[in-house]
Amino acid sequence: MAIEQTFSIIKPDAVERNLIGAINARLEAAGFVIVGMRLIQMTVEQAQNFYAEHDGKPFFDSLVEYMTSGPVVVQVLQAENAIAKYREILGATNPENAAAGTIRHDFAISMSKNSAHGSDSPASAEREIACFFGESKIFTR
Ligand code: RTP
Ligand code: MG
């Protein structure tokens, strides 16, 4: 399987509860290499652009409000089969449906405060990485 990069966000609820280290420890233990990482607070424009696929859905405005409510960690993760692999250890969107041992099962508070984001396809990963990282800011190895 090919080495891929995926885009990850440690969301405001997880940053607020000091879970950056715990989540990163899981990522590294699962074989991901963190090749890009920054702590930022998204602007409304950045969040609207990032979640553009959900524009018009009933939860869009609250999603944008939540994602801009505090600092988040944006990351580029590299591994074999990184995109699907991260979605697997992330767990289902709604933590009530997330499998035991997944990040969302263990850390998420609710459907919106669900602790982390991972790209859902190669096209999404490419688009999302480009939203936050220039090529010179990714330390591929
Ligand atoms: P994410 O993009 O944040 O990694 O989450 P996801 O792929 O698992 O889920 P997605 O469908 O892309 O939804 C993005 C975020 O919007 C919120 N959401 N709320 N029906 C709802 O109330 C609803 N559906 C989605 C969640 O916070 C989800 O993470
Ligand atoms: Mg998504």
DSSP character at residue 81: T
Note the pLDDT of residue 1.
Answer: 80
Cβ atoms of 82 and 32 closer than 8 Å: yes
Cβ atoms of 74 and 37 closer than 8 Å: yes
Count CB atoms within 10 A of the CB of residue 131. Answer: 13
Mean pLDDT for the stretch of residues 82-105: 98
Note the pLDDT of residue 136.
Answer: 86
Mean pLDDT for the stretch of residues 5-24: 98
**3 state SS of 55:** coil
Judge whether residue 7 has pLDDT over 90: yes
Per DSSP, helices labelled H in 17-139 are 20-29, 44-50, 60-67, 82-90, 103-107, 122-132
Round the average pLDDT of the chain to a whole number and report it. Answer: 97
Both tokens assigned to 27: 């990522």
Burial category of 20 from C-beta neighbours within 10 Å (exposed 0-12, middle 13-18, buried 19 and up): middle
Among 50, 93, 119, the mutation site with the greatest number of ligand 1 atoms within 8 A of its Cβ is 93
Measured from CB, residues less than 6 Å from any atom of ligand 1 are: 54, 59, 63, 93, 111-112, 114, 117-118, 120
Judge whether residue 141 has pLDDT over 90: no
| Confidence tier at 108 by pLDDT (50, 70, 90) | very high
Domain 3-133 = CATH 3.40.50.970: no
Percent of the chain topping pLDDT 90: 96
pLDDT digits (tens, 9 = 90+) for 52-87: 999 999 999 999 999 999 999 999 999 999 999 999
Note the pLDDT of residue 135.
Answer: 86
**Domain residue ranges in the chain:** 3-133
